[in-house]
Every structure is written in C-alpha cells, then in structure tokens.
Copies of this chain bind each other. A is one copy, B any other.
Amino acid sequence: MVLKLYFDLFSQPARSLYIFLKLAKIPFEECRVNLGKGEHLTKEFAETKSKIQKIPFIHHGDFRLNESIGIVRYLSREYSIADHWYPKDSKKQAKVDEFLEWNHLNIRLNCSSYFLVKWLMPLKNGKQPSEEECKNLTRRMEKSLEDFERIFLSNERFLFGNSVSYADVHAACEIEQTRMAGYDVRDHFPKIKTWIESVRSECNPVYDQAHKFVNMMAEGNEKQLNSKL
C-alpha cells in the first residue's frame, strides 16, 4: 500500500515526521504542500486531501490521517520499525506519550507563539509586536524550556536513555523554529544545547536536510543582527 506524506519543511511537526520516516526506513511518496502560497486552504484541498487543512498528514491507501503524533503511533503499528523510535513496552511507551502530550501546551505552544508573533505575523501584515508582548512571549517560552530541562532532560544522551526516540526529534524541531525569529535556545539553555546537538548528530544528514530553510533564515537573522551591532 502506498504511503503519501503531505508536508512542507517550513512546519515543525512536518520536519519531525519527515526525519522519522526517513530514519525509520518507512518508504513514502513526498507530496509537497506550499504553506506560503496557502495551497492547503482551498475548498478543493479540504475535499480531496484533508478536511483539517493542516500539515503534515498522510494518505495510506484510502486511509487519511492528520496529526504527527497520531501518525507516528499508527505507522509504528503498521510497519516494522526499530523499537527505540516508539517503544512497544507498555511503560516505556507511556513515558514517551507523557512527554508528547505534555509538549503541546508547553514547548509547542510557546515556541511557536514566539515564532509566529515575532517573525511570521510581521512578515505577513507588517505589524510588529509591542515590547510588552515580546517580553511576555519570551517569559512564557523560557518557562517551558526551563520545565523541559528540569523535568525531562536527565544526564542521559536522549530523553529516554541512550537511543533516540520520536519524542526527541519532535521536541528538537519545535525548538529549532525559534532561531528564525532570532532566538537560539542553545545560547540560553546549556543542557538543551547538549541534548539537541546529540539529536542532530544522531539524525544527520537528514536532520540538516530537513532544516535547510530554517538554517538559511536563521543565518539571515544573524547577519541582520551583526550588521546592526
């Protein structure tokens, strides 16, 4: 049965799903959706591709599924993949799930809000956020990152021991996004820096391929910043 992945590497969960599929060696057909052009917003797209109109999603034969985490769980049942990506052991799986569920209203919400308000919205409608808004966004994001370090990062190489899991990739892709808005988490959280570099090194060269656009934009920001100094 053909597996089609609909994605745009501009999106954090699309990148994590793309990296997972490549490294877990699940064969798939690449179906690019250009978010910038709003390709996902038409009525035709909703009818023929995905009613939720968000990426990433998959078509697996006739079966359509949205939401990266749900997709990883589904594919881990449908394909034979290395156990470390999403463990079959009930308690180990539960701990991966605990993190992935916690993540939504913490790193996911607060890093992407920072990115949206500081980078995407000014680009779209020319409106810069106020100083107070920026302060609040930074405060909330840093609270989530502190919690992430304190609660979930130990002295082990990855979130759940010495092997990378989908949870590592999922969180790393969210955290990378803020670099486009000029905030490199590595500069502020040394424990996250060590961990994210392990994830990157374990998942390379696919990790860097998936972050090509993010890196390009982040370098642009750095040059902009340097030219101001």
> Chain A interface (Cβ within 8 Å of chain B)?
51-52, 63, 65-71, 73-74, 77-78, 90-91, 93-95, 97-98, 100-102, 104-105, 108-109, 151
Contact = CB atoms under 8 A, between A and B. Distances in A.
Contacts of A52: 102, 151
A67 B98 contact: yes
B104 A105 contact: yes
Nearest to A104: B104
B70 A97 contact: yes
Contacts of A95: 65
Given A68-B101, A74-B91, 10 more contacts: A51-B151, A52-B102, A65-B95, A65-B98, A67-B101, A69-B101, A74-B90, A77-B93, A104-B104, A105-B105
Contacts of A77: 90, 93
A154 to B, nearest CB: 11
A66 B102 contact: yes
Contacts of A65: 94-95, 98
